[in-house]
Structure 1
Amino acid sequence: MPVPSPNLYPDFNIVRLSHVEFVVKDIAASRAFYADLLGLQITHEDENEIFLRALEERGHHCVILRKGELAEANVLGFKVYSEEDLDRAQAWFARRDLPTSWIERPFQGRTLRTRDNFGVPLEFYHKMDRLPSIHQKYRLYHGVKPLRIDHFNCFSPNVDASVAFYNEMGFRVTEYTEDEDSRMLWAAWMHRKGGVHDMAFTNGRGPRLHHTAFWVPTPLNIIDLLDLMSTTGYLANIERGPGRHGISNAFFLYIRDPDGHRIEIYCSDYQTVDPDHEPIRWDLKDPQRQTLWGAPAPRSWFEEGSAFAGAGAVESILKAQPIVAP
């Protein structure tokens, strides 16, 4: 199935991805990982939750850590252009018989909670508390020096259906992997903000969150993080990399937090803002699609992910398999 033509005039306008909320079992261990190791900045904390932002961000938070009994991903957040877009979004999801509700969120204005076609919990807002700029306060830079949240990647049981749904919301495909035999999508990368992706979908048991990615200044920041993790008790949390993706051209590292939530550290992709940007097609059998250079991805990278709160995962309809490390 070919990727759909871009929808340049969606019913409501999404600016970009915004934040993720993780449920974590040991909030002190998660605080040490996200704030002390990675270098995200704490903007609010109490005994049950921690809000953090990256160093370029003016919004109050890009990560929320909430203490709970079961580690899972509670919600993926997106910013829209206007208050009117929130109302248009509510109507759009309601027309598709998807649940909608207006919720109270600390540090955010009016917030719409809903789910996508496979049950991924989503929320949309226009206003978030703005904080003073800290991107030139270099004394705060430590860990991997994360500048901003960059993208989400989700396992989908039907990537074609996920792409069609998000295309209706105005997400545009930048690159995709197609299975030559079935002509179905195995993975796709979709954006709103003009990078390679805000949202990506990977074939697999889902919906589940594959990873959340943070942009860093240079590949050297990733090397520094590897040195730090290997000497501070986090060696086993390194899952894959470093390496360079064929898709997106990004320099990458995948690590796992204390609860197993996967985090990608990411830099060096490219601009995609032109409305006539043509998607790049990759064959599933091309070994350089996932790894231009570096070790192949381990089996855990294809099989493990974070469950979404309230969403039951089902097996994927496409059984094709890319190269897996032994």
Structure 2
Amino acid sequence: MPVPAPNLYPPFNIVRLSHVEYRVIDLAASRAFYVDTLGLQVTDEDHETIYLRAMEERGHHCIALVKAEAPSVGVLGFKLFDEEDLDRAAAFFEGKGLPVEWVAQPFMGRTLRTRDPWGIPLEFYVKMDRLAPIHQKYRLYNGVKPLRIDHFNMFASDVDASVGFYNEIGFRVTEYTEDSETGRLWAAWMHRKGGVHDVAFTNGLGPRLHHTAFWVPTPLNIIDLLDLMSTTGYLPNIERGPGRHGISNAFFLYVRDPDGHRIEIYCSDYQTVDPDLEPIRWDLKDPQRQTLWGAPAPKSWFEEGSAFEGVEPVASDLKAQPIIAP
């Protein structure tokens, strides 16, 4: 199935991805990981929820850690351009027969809660509380020195269908992996903000969240994080990397939080703002598509992900298999 032509005039205007809500069992353990180890900044907390932002972010939060009995993902959040776009988004999802609910969210203005056709919980808003800039408060920089949230990657049971839907709401494909035997998409990377992706879809049992990624200043920050994690009890939480992706050209590291949620540490991808930028095709059997250099991805990276709350994932019928580590 061919990659769809970019939809330059979508029904509403998404600016970028914004935030994720992780359900976690032990707030103290999660705080130690995200704040003391990764270096995210606490913007508000109580005995039920911790809100975090990265160093360049002016919005109140990019992660909400919510105490729960079992790990899951509560919602993926996206910022829209203006209030009219919020109303147009509600009309679009309602027209698709998808749930539409206006919810009150702490530190946010009018907020639309819905789901995509496969059940992924989505949240759209325009206004979030703005905080004072901290990007030049260098004494606050700790851990991997995270600058901003960069993207979500989801397992999808039908990548072609997922790309078609998200293309309809304005996400543009930058790179994709195709199974040459069937002509179907095995994975695709799609953006709004002008990087390689805000969202990506990978073939597998889905929908599930594969990872959330954070942009960091340099590859050396990733090396510093590896030194820190290996000497503070987090060595088993290092899952994959460091290395460089063929797709996106990014320098990467994948780590797991105390509940198993996967976080990618990411830098060095490229600009994609031109509306007529042609997507780059990769063959599924090309070993450099996922790892330009570095060790191959472990089996866990292809199979394990975080459940979305209230969603029962289904298996993909595309059985093509990429190269994995022994």
Q: Do they fold alike, i.e. is TM over 0.5?
A: yes
* 1:84 maps onto 2:84 in alignment: yes
The residue number in structure 2 matching 1:308 is 308
How many percent identity over aligned positions? 79
1:77-226 pair list within 5 angstroms: 77-226=77-226
Q: Which residue of 1 aligns with 2:296?
A: 296
Q: Distance in 2 between matches of 1:222 and 1:151?
A: 17
Letter paired with 2:308: F
1-side partners of 2:27 and 2:225: how far apart?
Answer: 21
Q: Is it true that 1:41 corresponds to 2:31 in the alignment?
A: no
Counterpart residue type for residue 271 of structure 2:
Q
Shift of 1:130: 0.1
User: Take 1:165 and 1:74, find their aligned partners in 2: how far apart are those partners?
Assistant: 21
Q: Deviations over 1:131-176 (max 9, x none)?
A: 0000000000010000000000000000000000000000000000
Q: Which amino acid aligns with 2:76?
A: L
Q: What is the SS of the residue equivalent to 1:181?
A: coil
Q: Moved runs in structure 1, 4+ residues, more than 3 A?
A: none
Please give the per-residue CA displacement for 1:239-290, whole angstroms capped at 9, x wherever unaligned. 0000000000000000000000000000000000000111000000000000
Q: Corresponding residue for 2:249?
A: 249
Tell me the alpha carbon deviations over residues 46-103 of structure 1, each in whole angstroms, 9 at most, x when there is no partner.
Answer: 0010000000000000000000001000000000000111100000001110101000
What is aligned with 2:323? Answer: 323
Provide the aligned C-alpha RMSD in A.
0.3
AA partner of residue 188 (structure 1): A
Displacement of 1:317 in angstroms is: 1.8
Partner Cα distance (1:94, 1:300) in 2: 37
| C-alpha distance in 2 between matches for 1:172 and 1:35 | 33
What do residues 8-66 of structure 1 show as CA deviations (whole Å, max 9, x unaligned)? 00010000000000000000000000011000000000001000000000000000000
CA drift of 1:297 comes to 0.3
1:223 maps to amino acid? I
Mapped partners of 2:94, 2:289: distance in 1 = 37
- Three-state SS of the structure 2 residue aligned to 1:226 is helix
Find the aligned partners of 2:36 and 2:49 in 1 and give their Cα distance: 16
| Partner-residue secondary structure (3-state), 1:263 | strand
Q: In the aligned structure 2, how far is the partner of 1:262 from the partner of 1:10? A: 31
* In structure 2, C-alpha distance between the alignment counterparts of 1:238 and 1:48, rounded to whole Å: 27
Question: Match of 2:57, as an amino acid?
Answer: E
Shift of 1:117: 1.3
1:276 matched to which residue of 2?
276
Q: Distance in 2 between matches of 1:118 and 1:301?
A: 22
SS at 1:93's partner residue?
A: helix
In the aligned structure 2, how far is the partner of 1:6 from the partner of 1:163?
11
Letter in 2 for 1:234: Y
Alignment: residue pair count = 326
Partner secondary structure for residue 323 of structure 2: coil
2:233 matched residue in structure 1: 233
1:6 Cα offset (Å): 0.1
Q: Secondary structure at the match of 1:188?
A: strand
Deviation of the 1:104 alpha carbon: 0.4
Code of the residue aligned with 1:257 in structure 2: it is: D
Q: Secondary structure at the match of 2:35?
A: helix
Asked if residue 8 in structure 1 is aligned to residue 23 in structure 2, the reply is no
SS at match of 2:108: coil
Mapped to 1, the partners of 2:171 and 2:310 lie a distance apart of 24
Partners of 1:56 and 1:137 lie apart in 2 by 10
TM-score (norm 1): 1.00
User: Gapped runs of 5+ residues in structure 1?
Assistant: none
The SS at the match of 2:221 is helix
Match of 1:56 in 2: 56
